[in-house]
C-alpha cells in the first residue's frame, strides 16, 4: 500500500512526518479554489479538501491524503495573502479579534471512498500596531498563506488564545489525519 500526498506544501509533508508517515508520491492538485456564491467557510474547507484528493490520479494500491486550511472571520472566508497590500488588510482585520482556522483533511482509501474530517480551531490575535503589521509583512513569511500569517513562525507571538489543534492551523490536523488513515487501513507505527 502506497500513500500519495495531494499537496505541494512542505508544511503538510513535515506534519505527516511527525506521525511517522512519509508519502510515496507528492502531487500538486490543480483545482479552482474560489468560494461558491454564498458558500459558508466550513463547507468550503471540506469541499476543497475532497476536491484536492479527487483531483489526483490514484492507482489501485494507493491511498490519497489532502488537506485545506481556511481562515474564517465570522461567515467571511479570508483569502490567501497574494500581495503585501492584501496581507496588511488581512492582518488588520484579524487584529484584536478571534477567528476560526478550519482545517479539513480528506483520505481516499483503497476502496475509493472519501473520508473527511474538519478541525475547527479558534485563534485570537492581540491588537496589532501598524508597525507590527509592517514588520511582519516585511519578513515575508505570511505571503501566500491563508489569512496572511504562518502560526509556526513569527506570527505565533501574536496569538493570545488558541483553542483547538495547533497542527491544524499549520496546515494538517494530525489527530484527525491519523484517525482517517487508520480507518482507511493505512499501517501506522
The domain limits of the chain are: 2-183
Note the pLDDT tens digit of each residue in 119-156: 999 999 999 999 999 999 999 999 999 999 999 999 99
Q: Computed from CA positions of residues 145, 5, 116, 51, in that sequence, does the dihedral angle turn out positive or negative? A: positive
- Return the number of other C-beta atoms located less than 10 Å from residue 9's C-beta: 16
Cα separations in angstroms, 62 against 101, 125, 137: 29, 40, 40
Given the residues 68, 111, 120, 176, select the one marked as catalytic.
68
Dist. CA 180–CA 186, nearest whole Å: 9
Cα–Cα distance between 188 and 17 in angstroms, integer? 11
Using CA atoms in the order 7, 14, 125, 102, what is the torsion angle rounded to 10 degrees? 40
**Helix ranges restricted to H, the chain:** 10-18, 41-54, 84-94, 130-139, 166-170, 174-183
> What is the domain class of 2-183 according to CATH?
alpha beta
Concerning whether 61 is annotated as a catalytic residue, the answer is no
What tens digit of pLDDT does each residue of 48-104 get? 999 999 999 999 999 999 999 999 999 999 999 999 999 999 999 999 999 999 999
pTM: 0.94
Amino acid at each position: 500500500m502506497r500513500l500519495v500526498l495531494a499537496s505541494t506544501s512542505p508544511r503538510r509533508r513535515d506534519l505527516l512526518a511527525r506521525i511517522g508517515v512519509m508519502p510515496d508520491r507528492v502531487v500538486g492538485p490543480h483545482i479552482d479554489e474560489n468560494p461558491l456564491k454564498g458558500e459558508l467557510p466550513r463547507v468550503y474547507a471540506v469541499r476543497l479538501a475532497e476536491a484536492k484528493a479527487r483531483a489526483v490520479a490514484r492507482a489501485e494500491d494507493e491511498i490519497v491524503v489532502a488537506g485545506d486550511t481556511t481562515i474564517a472571520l465570522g461567515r467571511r472566508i479570508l483569502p490567501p495573502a497574494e500581495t503585501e497590500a492584501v496581507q496588511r488588510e488581512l492582518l488588520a482585520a484579524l487584529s484584536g479579534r478571534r477567528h476560526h482556522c478550519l482545517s479539513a483533511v480528506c483520505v481516499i482509501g483503497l476502496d475509493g471512498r472519501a473520508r473527511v474530517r474538519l478541525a475547527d480551531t479558534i485563534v485570537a490575535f492581540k491588537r496589532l500596531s501598524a508597525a507590527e503589521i509592517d514588520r511582519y509583512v516585511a519578513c515575508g513569511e505570511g505571503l501566500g498563506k491563508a489569512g496572511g500569517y504562518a502560526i509556526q513562525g513569527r506570527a505565533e507571538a501574536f496569538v493570545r488564545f488558541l483553542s483547538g489543534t495547533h497542527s491544524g492551523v499549520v496546515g494538517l490536523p494530525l489527530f484527525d489525519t491519523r484517525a482517517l488513515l487508520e480507518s482507511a487501513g493505512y499501517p501506522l507505527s
